[in-house]
Amino acid sequence: MALTPFRNVRSLVAPRGIAVVGASPRGNRGSRVLENLARFGYAGPVVVVNPGYSEVLGRPAVPSVRELPDGIDLVVVAVAADRAVDVVREAAERGIRGVLVIGSGFGEGEHGRERGAALAELVAKHDLVLCGPNCYGVLDVAGAVAAYSGRIIDPLEPGNVALVMQSGALTHAVTDSAIGRGLRLSAMVTTGNELSATVSDYVAWYAEDEVTEVIGVFVEGLRDADRFAAACRRARERGKAVVVLAAGRSETGRRAALAHTGAIAGAAAALDGLLASAGATRVDDLDELRETLLLFSALAGRPGPSAPGVAALSISGGACGLTADMADQVGVALPGFAPETSRTLGAGLPDFAAVNNPLDVTGAAAEDPSILAGALRAAAHDPAVGVVVFAMNVGLAGPGQEDFYRGQARLLAEAARSSTKPVVLVAMTGGALDPGIAEATRAASVPVLLGIRPALSALRSWLTWPARAGRPSEQPVPARDWPAPTSVAAGADALAALEDAGIPVAPYRLVATPAAAAAAAHELGGPVVLKIESPDIAHKTEVGGVRLRVDPVCAEAEAAALLAAVARAEPDARIDGILVQAMADGERLECLVGVTADPQVGRCLSIAPGGVLAELLGPVGSRPVPVSAAEVEELIDGSALGLLLAGYRGGPALDRAALVDAALRFSRLAAALPDLAAAEMNPLLVGERGVLAVDCLLIREGDATSA
């Protein structure tokens, strides 16, 4: 299915002229928009709509939207919800397509839902591009477009980071503590309830923006997951990082997201898979989002990492210990130093110092600055090191401490100037940045990251970002017919669908009588499995509908016993026959390849050890279908399957390539079936050569049956 084209949000982020409806000299959210426009020096015409005044805060006022002059591209609606719909209607009738609705009351309660529906109808009828409702608005720093009703921290210098957030308050939680450490914004957009323009549209816009190099996103739920992934890929193709924080990873969080913006959040694994497939960077909390954006912003335009490792240094042994622990937790490599590096470090450190990574330069560096300077230079030259990190206190220095801490910052700045590798200061404490430290680091473009764990998480994201190229957009999969005219396809019908998809299936026969079962068992030549075929029986084993390792000699009697057991347990069930299937020989690993329909992301494929290992080994990742071969490889390596396939504890190496091929084919089958709610191959048996599907289940939407 083709994606809906991205909306052109130019009228929201780069309007030729702006009207503010409801601004008053007494002060309100509309008045704050006027103040922000003046503060940033917006050059286009600004007109107020307020019948009670001829001028508001130095701007001309007209009585109604109908009397606005030509050249107005954006109408900012800062009136009560009951009046807002009429204002939007007047703007549409005036031929103005860009609308920003600040207030809430368009989704809460019966009247709110009615107002929201009325707004949505106007959007559709007049092809409006609407930001909100329930948002702060849009701030495009480079264009001085401050159609924004929130308070903006000083100073706000133009930069390369665009924030696209579904929460206005969290926007400021990101910026307020980072701007003083060098975060520079190109734009700040709060999307609200997204009755028209969505996060995806803004990400696509800033993917093309010449100034923006990094895009930070907060979402509570995606209304158009496929378009969001496409927007992220567009940014990635242009060398721009998209860093995403998503709420709704728990059931409580999903309910909160639905209550706030009406957005439906899906399962965490499904969203993670979507972001991975799109080449985006996912973070876990606001601290990680803020520090990751700051790091990517500071390092934008520089070459990628020359090596995957981090050299961590500090004058504090305790900080080194914490850094080692947290690096292990977040997945940052702290490689041992090369022999030459170790010799250089050892020669410059006190005799009692240990040459390790993290490196404690000891308190002697407080008395002799050359110790730290030499250690920083040596670490930066190590071939396994891609980034050098120094952890220190950066708060306002007390009496007598100014030279000590500021001196360390100056040494760090000198190391950064002389190295081709990034040098990063990690602040161990919060609070305001000491002016001397700020001056030294800013002059040398040294990022200052707050907190050891968030800093290491940001570094991990930057070090691994070049490898997250994202998959190319998949070609549409031709639709196919369901294998049977039922809501659930299982047994022979589902196995036939697998065969049509090119997936090897354990040989089987569908028969009607015990005698025919015996004949089929002899034909298949060895122990067989007998399974009842019935659309009314969800759990075959529980009603005696499965017989394992049946000798062909005993097959007729076993089949008769199976039918009798099922008749006793489910006398009204429809019986379509008995499935006779050959037992797979040799040592094989049971795998589960499944597809579920996530309410936010859509159909996603997961792959994991099957049988008793499925629950024991815990949750697994997923990717939207149809998947690529590289994504299947990632899913395998992200679970215990990678180790098991390689020959765990002396076992034989199994056919990984055949598993990848079967998963790809199953993914394409799942993508092509209309109305698919869930699909599962369980087990798919992986041997030393090839795979065999033994059982399969395909479930249509609206059917809760499982087998």
Q: Give the position of tokens 């159909």.
A: 603
Share of the chain above pLDDT 90, in %: 75
Of 285-294, 524-533, 593-602, which has the strongest mean pLDDT? 285-294
Residue 444 has what DSSP assignment?
T
Amino acid of residue 459: L
Please provide residue 41's backbone torsions phi and psi, each rounded to the nearest 5 degrees: 75, 40
pLDDT recorded at residue 704: 47
> d(Cα 241, Cα 247) in Å, to the nearest integer?
20
Q: What is the largest CA-CA distance in the chain?
A: 100
Average pLDDT over residues 285-290: 96
Average pLDDT over residues 377-381: 97
> d(Cα 144, Cα 209) in Å, to the nearest integer?
15
Share of the chain above pLDDT 70, in %: 92
Q: Is residue 703's pLDDT more than 80?
A: no
Average pLDDT over residues 432-450: 92
Token pair for residue 553?
């000699």
pLDDT recorded at residue 477: 67
Query: What mean pLDDT, rounded, does the chain reach?
Result: 91
pLDDT recorded at residue 612: 60
pLDDT in tens, 35-88: 999 999 999 999 999 999 999 999 999 999 999 999 999 999 999 999 999 999
Residue 433 has what DSSP assignment?
P
Residue 706's pLDDT band (boundaries 50, 70, 90)?
Answer: very low
> d(Cα 658, Cα 688) in Å, to the nearest integer?
10
> d(Cα 685, Cα 407) in Å, to the nearest integer?
63
Average pLDDT over residues 415-440: 91
pLDDT recorded at residue 249: 63
Token pair for residue 28?
């309100």
Sheet with 423-427, side-by-side order of all strands:
359-360, 309-314, 385-392, 423-427, 448-450
Amino acid of residue 77: V
**How far from the centroid of its chain's Cα atoms is residue 254's Cα?**
15
Q: Is residue 31's pLDDT more than 50?
A: yes
- For Cα atoms 102, 103, 107, give the angle at the middle one, nearest 5 degrees: 120
Residue 329's pLDDT band (boundaries 50, 70, 90)?
Answer: very high
Lowest-confidence segment of 169-183, 357-371, 483-497, 563-577 by average pLDDT: 483-497
pLDDT recorded at residue 259: 45
Q: β-strands 74-77, 18-21: how paired?
A: parallel
| Bond into 626 cis (ω within 30) | yes
CB within 8 A of 492, min separation 6: which ones? 508, 510, 533, 577, 579
Q: Is residue 429's pLDDT more than 90?
A: no
What is the CB neighbour count within 10 angstroms for residue 452? Answer: 22
pLDDT in tens, 599-619: 889 999 999 888 666 666 666
Token pair for residue 274?
């979507």
Residue 265's pLDDT band (boundaries 50, 70, 90)?
Answer: very low
Residue 505 has what DSSP assignment?
B
**How far from the centroid of its chain's Cα atoms is residue 680's Cα?**
25
Q: Is residue 177's pLDDT more than 90?
A: no
pLDDT recorded at residue 156: 82
Residue 404's pLDDT band (boundaries 50, 70, 90)?
Answer: confident
Q: Which domains does the chain have, with CATH numbers?
A: 1-136 (3.40.50.720), 309-428 (3.40.50.261), 507-582 (3.30.1490.20), 589-700 (3.30.470.20)
Nearest to 366, CA basis, from 344, 346, 350, 382? 350
pLDDT in tens, 514-534: 999 999 999 999 899 999 999
Task: Indicate the SS3 state at residue 530.
Answer: strand
What is the CB neighbour count within 10 angstroms for residue 660? Answer: 20
Token pair for residue 665?
């084919």
Average pLDDT over residues 451-462: 97
Decide if 637 contacts 643 (C-beta within 8 A). Answer: no
pLDDT recorded at residue 4: 85
Amino acid of residue 356: N
Tell me whether residue 281 is exposed, middle or buried, using C-beta atoms within 10 angstroms of its C-beta: 0 to 12, 13 to 18, 19 or more: buried
CA distances 571 to 87, 276, 484, 559, 567, Å, are: 66, 49, 24, 17, 5
